[in-house]
Amino acid sequence: MLTGKRILLVIGGGIAAYKALDLIRRLRERGASVRGVMTGAAAHFVTPLSVASLSGQGVHQELFSLTDEAEMGHIELSRDADLVVVAPATANLLAKMANGIADDLASTLLLATDKKALVAPAMNLRMWLHPATQRNVARLREDGVLFAGPNDGSMACGEYGPGRMSEPLEIVAAIETALQSETQIPLAGAARSRGPLSGRRVVITSGPTHEPIDPVRYIANRSSGRQGHSIADAARDAGADVVLISGPVAIPDPAGLAVVHVETAQQMLAAVEAAMPADIFISAAAVADWRIANAQTEKIKKTGSSLPTLTMAENPDILARIGKSSARPRLVIGFAAETEKVVAHAQEKLGRKGCDLIVANDVSPASGVMGGDENTVHLVTPAGVESWPKMSKAEVGRKLVERFGKMLEARL
């Protein structure tokens, strides 16, 4: 549910603008409030009255509106939301966002906002596939902009292919996912310099790894990456220079930090070593212990006579490699996801891996931790065990970063 969430909806000019009306209705059904902003071109496809009637709020259209500026200036409007959604996001709007152009109300809000933006592209397939649009999309992804679609489908122009705007419920799902993480974009420079981890480099791994069996199958685990990504969010907010190395996850990248995407344990190790040196290394990823030694280059087919033989090989131990390296970070943090004897296994792991602290948790099916939004953790150090009550993974991330900051300060 989206109860209490505030959405700033920018409606671009395209035939898909009619879907924005249904999107408003779907968001309000789930408890969100929606404030609409329309480009000049959008008014050719849907009326401001329709948007205002469905949202229950006035619609903003003009950058230099005396009434709007007096009641709520465009800077305040751009920040009075939990998430900015652009639907439909035309090629023109994407180009303005990618290049920092602010020549109307919509583009000015998108440049001035301090919240993440989620865009739902909609355009002719040739416009979507044009190198200029693809360059803009790549730049926006690097900047932390989130995307919903586009889908393949029939166009109003009669062509078929990529560029069709996602359906309203698909966009709602993307909005719900985006709001599970921090949406505030930190201000570069002075605002970050006041944090307790200012000037510190933090490398974090998150999510699962996928170990291929053949081109279409792999070995994996149920890690969602939510805890690791939450720690990355909190470390960024504490002023750190963060590198997040993420396995395959379905949650958005945190904004305002470097993200390296990997698939396998071997790729994750290479990315971690490339990100060194660091002041803190946090190994929150659920790295597969084994991989298939004889992964096939073609899909394994049923023969009807015998089962395929899969030979296993041990994956590199990333945490132990970093914890015992000559260039060891000042602080090395590991995670222990266990289904029984949680604390005992973490205590054994602490010395074997060369860690300063192990964050242990119960990931048995009954706990609901794997893939869930809450966590119950135990902090295991050579001095003892500290158990925390159940809390959201975002709150666990903030409290862990606060603790890591104090530990690092004690070592300097």
Catalytically active residues, by annotation: 157
What's the Cα-to-Cα distance from 160 to each of 156, 163, 240, rounded to whole Å? Answer: 9, 9, 46
Dump the DSSP string for 306-365. -PPP--EEEPP-HHHHHHTSTT--SEEEEEEEESSSHHHHHHHHHHHHT-SEEEEEE-SG
Of 137, 159, 155, give the one whose Cα is nearest residue 146: 137
Spacing of C-alpha 412 from chain mean position: 32
* Beta-strand relationship, 217-219 and 211-214: antiparallel
What SS3 state is found at 80? coil
Of 370, 307, 379, 306, give the one whose Cα is nearest residue 347: 379
The C-alpha atoms of residue 291 and residue 289 are separated, in whole angstroms, by 7
- In eight-state DSSP terms, residue 184 is B
